[in-house]
Amino acid sequence: MYRAFGKLGTEEGSNCQRGIIMGKIAILVIIGIAAGFIVWWKTPDRKGPVTAQKISIQELHALAHQEGLPIQHFEDESLVFTAQEEVKK
């Protein structure tokens, strides 16, 4: 019995089938490498110069718009000392 790829059940037919399988694997590897290259090529360059400008603390403070925040009054009680009561035996 003959097929387009060689005789079935012979070494010639199995070699040809192995060649087809290896060819398909090679095509898949080439497609994967090409896809990886395209993704790498399309990503922005992360090692380029930083173009962000420095902003001062005063400018940040001015941009915060703190005039709309509620005012909270509290007393600083961090230095208040209360003596412990003596324990009687």
Annotated domain spans of the chain: 2-63
pLDDT of residue 1: 46
Q: Pick the range with the lowest mean pLDDT from 1-10, 12-21, 40-49, 64-73.
A: 1-10
Q: pTM score, two decimals?
A: 0.38
Q: Pick the range with the lowest mean pLDDT from 17-21, 44-48, 67-71, 83-87.
A: 44-48
pLDDT of residue 7: 55
SS3 assignment, position 48: coil
Of 24, 25, 3, nearest to 14 by C-alpha is 3
Identity of the amino acid at 4: A
Q: What DSSP designation does 4 have?
A: T
Mean pLDDT in residue range 3-31: 77
Q: Is the pLDDT of residue 27 over 90?
A: yes
pLDDT, the chain, mean: 77
